[in-house]
Structure 1
């Protein structure tokens, strides 16, 4: 039974466990003041978290997966149109979805959280495979207009960028409210509300400590031990699940994207 780490971005994108990092990616995105301002003014994802997640995954899969290639241009155009009105100023923060620095940051959070989950499940990988996956993530930004040269040239350069950027993050009142609304999931189906405590726990564990603290997410030594046990169990069991189960969330989104087309709501 194959339990090897994914060697390409396509293989990694198929793995449903990567979704465990979705909450951390959102938290890191809104810890960037311009992103938080744009979300607060223009996004409805706290009222429709499943819809927001579905649209984000539609974009990622359309750009990355060959199976969704026919929808790639349609989805990229749809996202670009949705982002056109997302610009302005809120609480002193200027924001624009078309800003390449913002696009780089959002792309970076998607790569970083996916890599955090991948490492926890499969551990270290061959440096060439790691670099291949890293470089391929640039397309998530360039497909929306981010200049190719904005993506750090390799993982070492990315680490420098990441450390610099995360040290400059500021969790605003808007960001805290966005995350509180997300975890409350008041408009979500009952099954999703039931899953939110686990999602919140996974999010808190994946986040850098200073961002977790600024978001007001409780965490102590006992939580660290529980998180370690959880990932140990997942590391032993998840790679041994049948491929059909591991890939089911991705296949569900790709099938809907291929036969129904992308979502139409903004955010």
Structure 2
């Protein structure tokens, strides 16, 4: 796979709580401060990656990787209506990513506040959604899956370009209450952290329930349920082997062949699509975000 070919491989609803009146005070606390907002001001390199609709193809894989962390799995399974609205987490995540990459400064403040307030109530005896280690892992999955799919479609980046994009992805972690020094200093350090996480995580029943609700959900509209076999195929091939097998997903010779054919056809056609089509989800989610912010203002 492209990102780690020379060393490693991926294989080895916004809260409706309205923002507080003290937004300016919030912007000065330890996590939502001017430095973070300055770094988010013009993330030109990350914009090039996250604007692409193809990243949505890795949404299920990113979610399953996130909930593979037991604390995240408990939070999602025990504090959300995932079984009935499984697409909400994807919507919330992508809205957050798009806002951090393309939103105005005031929009970023409002969305970060909403996420922090939503996380504040997600806690239990052995976990808290505000735990920086959990949020570091969530941000790591967004980078790993996103950069993998992007390079599958557009080819391998230069070292300079790849490092620049990697550094900009760190702001997603920092805005989720992760201290800047917790984000691995380089891509090499990142993949070492990644491999350690993958090799030591144990898939819990919470995570398995989320996976079932995501990949075999009968509550979804018919047109989405018809796509689930393709989603399961893509997700299985994007997940590291150990995580895939722990979820009970299969990767047979036939399935790998089908995935290669699907990937080949997509790679041949997707980059040729007009940019207005490739960026439609980004524009849709940003429009939806702005409508929601107006409604809670």
Say if 1:263 and 1:29 are closer, same or farther in 2 by CA, change over 3 A: farther
Say if 1:219 and 1:10 are closer, same or farther in 2 by CA, change over 3 A: same
1: CA distance, partners of 2:59 / 2:77 = 18
1: CA distance, partners of 2:281 / 2:198 = 30
2: CA distance, partners of 1:33 / 1:182 = 17
Whether 2:106 is the aligned partner of 1:74: answer no
1: CA distance, partners of 2:197 / 2:160 = 25
Q: What TM-score comes out, normalization by structure 2 length?
A: 0.81
Whether 2:281 is the aligned partner of 1:245: answer no
C-alpha displacement of 1:42: 0.8
C-alpha displacement of 1:263: 9.5
2: CA distance, partners of 1:225 / 1:153 = 36
Say if 1:153 and 1:49 are closer, same or farther in 2 by CA, change over 3 A: same
- Structure 1 residues 59-114: Cα deviation after superposition (integer angstroms, max 9, x where no partner): 1111111x45441111110111100011113xxxx211111111110100010000
Whether 2:158 is the aligned partner of 1:122: answer no
> Which residue in the other structure is 2:190 paired with?
158
> Which residue in the other structure is 1:103 paired with?
135
DSSP 3-state at the match of 1:44: coil
C-alpha displacement of 1:188: 2.0
Say if 1:259 and 1:57 are closer, same or farther in 2 by CA, change over 3 A: same
C-alpha displacement of 1:44: 1.8
Q: What TM-score comes out, normalization by structure 1 length?
A: 0.90
Higher relative CO (CA 8 A, sep ≥ 6), structure 1 or 2?
Answer: 1
- Structure 1 residues 142-200: Cα deviation after superposition (integer angstroms, max 9, x where no partner): 11211010000010110111111111111112211110111122222221112121111
C-alpha displacement of 1:260: 3.2
- Asked whether the equivalents of residues 100 and 145 of structure 1 are also in contact (C-alpha less than 8 Å), the reply is yes
2: CA distance, partners of 1:251 / 1:24 = 23
2: CA distance, partners of 1:228 / 1:45 = 30
> Structure 1: which 5+ runs fail to align?
1-6
More displaced, 205-214 or 179-188? 179-188
CA RMSD of aligned residues (A): 1.7
> Which residue in the other structure is 1:197 paired with?
229
- Asked whether the equivalents of residues 58 and 254 of structure 1 are also in contact (C-alpha less than 8 Å), the reply is yes
> Which residue in the other structure is 1:16 paired with?
53
DSSP 3-state at the match of 1:261: helix
Whether 2:122 is the aligned partner of 1:86: answer yes
Whether 2:199 is the aligned partner of 1:167: answer yes
- Asked whether the equivalents of residues 66 and 137 of structure 2 are also in contact (C-alpha less than 8 Å), the reply is yes
> Which residue in the other structure is 2:85 paired with?
48
> Structure 2: which 5+ runs fail to align?
1-43
Match of 1:59 among 91, 96, 106: 96
More displaced, 67-76 or 109-118? 67-76
- Asked whether the equivalents of residues 61 and 68 of structure 1 are also in contact (C-alpha less than 8 Å), the reply is no
> Which residue in the other structure is 2:32 paired with?
none
- Asked whether the equivalents of residues 86 and 213 of structure 2 are also in contact (C-alpha less than 8 Å), the reply is no
Match of 1:219 among 251, 258, 272: 251
